[in-house]
């Protein structure tokens, strides 16, 4: 291995740059994997990005990937030999999967989820499982039973959530790509706060089979990367129709990176005024306004528009998501797997004891909210009404995309906040997803890219596309990324 090729800069390389080193034989997947594992060991006491690291498993995968890269076996893919992380709510055969909850302590799935299977088939090297808010319920990665994740830009601050471990690991050079889940912003908001790229694809484009469900009509798996081209490559690998998932679409799965170099000259971009919410930090607003100038300089036609139902999206989400969580989490009773209660005299007492000890406060809060919304006498007033407003929000977006190719907004109203600042105020915590939640409600594709700095911390820029307009979203994000250098900035941890 050439010493010059493997220095501190390698940890912040893109996956495409890493593959160039593999193809030129300057280094190997095994060598890079071992270096990354050493880096994880050094950084984890500060970051807590991982719940589980699987070094032996990773090196074995890297050895197989090197053979493939040298022409033995299957044709390599863009992710062959690339060290990646998967969020710890993805089922991984033979590897503990906890969703960052005490209730699943010791649970080892007997199967790989579809995305994990596709990553293995592609030759990616899975390093371990990423830390998250418990059952993906949170915006700061502070509700994990395994302790909070720390932002590598400032370890006293949160990385965002719920895919905070994934975002922090990519930002800190602990992996090259990570895969998270996004129910109301859980990929894009931490990507924004950690200064990386994060994408939520169109609902149904990526199989949810093997993802521990939170809100089944909202959840979607997607990549966190250091560049938009890496994001396109990753999405090409994980998107496919899956008969195991009834919501998996039979869309024509083309190359999501086909427009990477097409530019945005003449593209119609809408700026919904409702996303510049009251309380947005001045530094975030300033960065966003500068980003709009950049897009205009690239030849895009920027027009302000209005999506008035956006103001109702947060309320709709916090009825639908907890309701679905209440139903999904009812399976955790301590009987088949995870935490058990051997000291109870009846099954009802055992279930009550397990859930009392196993679920954290935020999860309990959302289960109670959802159960209330679904209860007799309140279903029509809350859940049914929320679904009706959801339909109106979808229509509003559909009408907007008759005029625009993409919409652009801030990803988060703030930069990363201090750990503990918002844990006592759930409403303020929920407000962190005000710019991302509408996208999940409508099932649309959206990507966050580094879009500036404020107070020395990253600011995210969000592009939103029409249903199955994932390639257009990537095209717009790639053009912006090429014309700026924000994605090339890395924390000094």
Cα gap 433→447, rounded to integer Å? 14
Cα gap 218→257, rounded to integer Å? 25
Cα gap 219→209, rounded to integer Å? 11
> Cα Rg for the chain, rounded, in angstroms?
21
What would the two tokens of residue 317 be?
Answer: 């989400």
**Half-sphere exposure in the Cβ direction for 488 (13 Å, CA):** 5
Q: Which residue has tokens 């919409």?
A: 407
> Edge to edge, what strands does the sheet with 301-305 contain?
50-53, 125-130, 83-87, 177-181, 221-225, 197-200, 446-454, 457-465, 406-410, 268-272, 301-305
The active-site residue, picked from 13, 29, 144, 162, is 162
Pick from 53, 15, 20: which is nearest to 34 by CA? 53
> How would you classify the pairing of strands 125-130 and 83-87?
parallel
Alpha carbon 398 to chain centroid, angstroms: 24
Q: How many CB atoms lie within 10 A of CB 438?
A: 33
Question: Is 87 annotated as catalytic?
Answer: yes
Q: Which residue has tokens 């800069």?
A: 9
Q: Who's near 307: CB < 8 A, 6+ residues apart?
A: 272, 274, 275, 396, 397, 400, 438
The active-site residue, picked from 28, 29, 49, 87, is 87
Cα gap 358→453, rounded to integer Å? 39
Cα gap 263→226, rounded to integer Å? 19
For the chain, helix, strand, coil in percent to 5 are: 45, 15, 45
The active-site residue, picked from 186, 323, 326, 466, is 186
**Half-sphere exposure in the Cβ direction for 192 (13 Å, CA):** 36
Q: Are 445 and 236 in contact (CB under 8 A)?
A: no
Pick from 297, 315, 319, 308: which is nearest to 400 by CA? 308
Helix spans in 48-143 (H): 55-69, 114-122
Pick from 214, 105, 197: which is nearest to 487 by CA? 197
Question: Is 186 annotated as catalytic?
Answer: yes
Q: Are 453 and 484 in contact (CB under 8 A)?
A: no
What would the two tokens of residue 288 be?
Answer: 């966003």
H or E segment at 371?
helix 361-374
Q: Which residues are catalytic?
A: 87, 162, 186
């Amino acid at each position: 291995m050439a010493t010059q090729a493997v220095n501190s800069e390698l940890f912040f390389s893109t996956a495409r740059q890493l593959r160039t080193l593999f193809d030129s034989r300057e280094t190997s997947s095994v060598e890079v994997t071992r270096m990354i594992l050493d880096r994880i060991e050094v950084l984890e006491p500060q970051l807590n990005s991982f719940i589980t690291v699987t070094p032996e498993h990773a090196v074995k995968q890297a050895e197989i990937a090197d053979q493939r890269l040298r022409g033995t076996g299957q044709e390599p893919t863009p992710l062959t030999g690339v060290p990646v992380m998967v969020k710890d709510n993805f089922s991984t055969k033979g590897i503990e999967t906890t969703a960052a909850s005490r209730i699943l302590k010791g649970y080892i799935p007997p199967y790989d989820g579809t995305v994990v299977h596709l990553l293995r088939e592609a030759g990616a090297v899975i390093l371990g499982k990423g830390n998250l808010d418990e059952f993906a319920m949170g915006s700061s990665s502070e509700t994990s039973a395994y302790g909070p994740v720390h932002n590598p830009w400032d370890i006293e601050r949160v990385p965002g959530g719920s895919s905070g471990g994934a975002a922090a690991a990519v930002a800190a050079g602990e992996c090259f790509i990570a895969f998270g889940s996004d129910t109301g912003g859980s990929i894009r908001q931490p990507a924004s706060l950690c200064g990386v790229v994060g994408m939520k694809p169109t609902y149904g484009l990526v199989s949810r089979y093997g993802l521990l469900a939170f809100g089944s009509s909202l959840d979607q798996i997607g990549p966190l990367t250091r560049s938009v081209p890496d994001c396109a490559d990753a999405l090409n690998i994980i998107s496919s129709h899956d008969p195991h998932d009834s919501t998996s679409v039979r869309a024509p799965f083309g190359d999501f990176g086909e427009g990477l170099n097409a530019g945005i000259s003449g593209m119609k971009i809408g700026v919904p005024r409702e996303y510049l919410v009251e309380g947005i930090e001045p530094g975030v607003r300033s960065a966003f306004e500068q980003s709009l100038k950049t897009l205009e300089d690239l030849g895009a036609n920027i027009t302000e528009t209005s999506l008035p139902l956006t103001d109702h999206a947060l309320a709709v989400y916090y009825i639908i998501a907890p309701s679905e969580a209440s139903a999904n989490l009812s399976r955790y009773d301590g009987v088949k797997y995870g935490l058990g209660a051997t000291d109870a005299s009846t099954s009802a007492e055992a279930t009550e004891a397990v859930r009392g000890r196993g679920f954290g406060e935020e999860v309990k809060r959302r289960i109670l909210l959802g159960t209330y919304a679904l209860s007799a006498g309140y279903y029509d007033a809350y859940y049914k009404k929320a679904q009706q407003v959801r339909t109106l929000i979808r229509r509003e977006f559909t009408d907007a995309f008759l005029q625009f190719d993409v919409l652009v907004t801030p990803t988060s109203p703030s930069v990363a906040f201090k750990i503990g600042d918002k844990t006592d105020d759930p409403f303020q915590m929920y407000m962190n997803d005000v710019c991302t939640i509408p996208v999940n409600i409508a099932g649309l594709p959206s990507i966050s890219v580094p879009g500036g700095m404020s107070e020395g911390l990253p600011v995210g820029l969000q592009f939103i596309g029409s249903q199955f307009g994932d390639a257009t979203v990537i095209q717009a994000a790639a053009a912006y990324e090429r014309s700026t250098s924000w994605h090339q900035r890395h924390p000094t941890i």
